[in-house]
């Protein structure tokens, strides 16, 4: 399932996709994966697998792209 992330004015910033194991992956508007949130481990990881935080901070990965 794709959930879009938009500005108040309706501009697409990026989107989430939930994979079959329940992990939420975040992508730029151009489709580049930035990272994911794993709810079972309660960690946010970068695309390469490095843990960057406990809890869900995936939206901050998108902010770094602007």
What does the domain layout of the chain look like in residue ranges?
A: 2-63
> Cα(34)–Cα(27) distance, rounded to whole angstroms?
6
Residue 65 confidence (pLDDT): 61
Please tell me whether the overall predicted TM-score, pTM, comes out greater than 0.85 for this model: yes
pLDDT tens digits for range 6-62: 999 999 999 999 999 999 999 999 999 999 999 999 999 999 999 999 999 999 998
């Amino acid at each position: 399932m794709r959930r879009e992330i938009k500005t108040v004015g309706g501009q697409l910033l990026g989107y989430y996709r939930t994979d079959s194991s329940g992990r939420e992956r975040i992508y730029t508007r151009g489709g580049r994966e930035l990272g994911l949130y794993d709810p079972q481990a309660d960690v946010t990881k970068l695309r390469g697998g490095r843990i960057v935080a406990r809890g869900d901070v995936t939206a901050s990965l998108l902010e770094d792209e602007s």
